[in-house]
Amino acid sequence: MSQKVLLNATEVQIALHRLACQLIENHDTFKDTVLVGIQPRGVFLAERLKTLLQDEYKIKGIQLGYLDITFYRDDFRRSDKPLEANKTQLNFVVENKKVVFIDDVLYTGRSIRSALTAIQDFGRPQDIELLTLIDRRFSRHLPIQPDYRGRQVDAIGDEKVKVYWQENDGEDAVYLVSGE
């Protein structure tokens, strides 16, 4: 197994600041915008961005929810591992809101496809955008692209991108892992 650093702690921090600023450019006061972290790993990124927007950029009243896509996945009974659900928590109305999906890695696009179906059960958003820390280029199975990306990565089939967060994994870093 070999492991290469794609982003270190400082670079993660820089990317987060840039993503926060790009969100502000498009959403101004976030009055009609809701952030939705995709379970399980998108939640850490979403929490970080919310804290950053509140503390560093003084934006008040940011609405953040979590969306679990387990029951909407297209690989039910197709993978050897049973699918385990996580908590969905959307304490706001998404009807006519601008929804920003937040996930750590965009790979095949299938999770986001599921999330697009799942969010409709909570209402009809005005529009939906996608923010992702890592965009794995050339590996999409579906016509889905991010609106905001931290870093674009070329990774081949058996390579994996792993995103670690201080609060969960002990460090902020992104690794490209191969031959696992």
Partner 1 sequence: MELSVDHLLGIKYIKEADIQLIFETADHFKEVINRPIKKVPSLRDITIANLFFENSTRTRLSFELAEKRLSADVVNFSAASSSVKKGETLIDTVNNILSMKVDMVVMRHPNPGAGVFLSKHVGAKIINAGDGAHEHPTQALLDSYSIRERLGDVAGKKVVIVGDILHSRVALSNIFALKKLGAEVKVCGPKTLMPKHIESLGVVYEPSLIKALNWCDVANMLRVQNERMDISYFPSTREYTQQYGVNKKILSSLDKEIVLMHPGPINRGVEITSDVADSKQAIILDQVQNGVAVRMAVIYLLASKINRGNVAQ
Q: Is 110 in the site for partner 1 (CB under 8 A)?
A: no
Work out whether strand 63-67 and strand 173-178 pair parallel, antiparallel, or are unpaired.
Answer: unpaired
Could you say whether residue 44 binds partner 1 (CB under 8 A)?
no
**Residue carrying structure tokens 């934006």:** 59
Q: Which stretch binds partner 1 (CB under 8 A): 20-28, 77-85, 144-152, 162-170?
A: 77-85
142 binds partner 1 (CB under 8 A): no
By DSSP bridging, strand 98-106 and strand 127-137 are parallel
Q: Is 87 one of the binding residues for partner 1 (CB under 8 A)?
A: yes
Measure CA 136 to chain center: 13
Residue 123 in the binding site for partner 1 (CB under 8 A) = yes
CB of 161 to partner 1, least distance (A): 26
Q: Any bridge partners for residue 173, and if so which?
A: 164
Measured CA to CA, the distance from residue 58 to residue 21 in angstroms comes to 12
Q: Is 84 in the site for partner 1 (CB under 8 A)?
A: yes
**Closest CB to partner 1 among 44 and 72?**
72
Whether 48 and 16 have beta carbons less than 8 Å apart is answered as yes
Total of residues contacting partner 1 (CB under 8 A): 20
> In the set 46, 68, 149, 150, which binds partner 1 (CB under 8 A)?
68
Q: Is 83 in the site for partner 1 (CB under 8 A)?
A: yes
Nearer to partner 1 among residue 48 and residue 97 (C-beta):
97
Regarding 96 and contact with partner 1 (CB under 8 A), the answer is no
Which residues contact partner 1 (rule: CB under 8 A)?
A: 68, 70-72, 76-78, 82-88, 117-118, 120-123
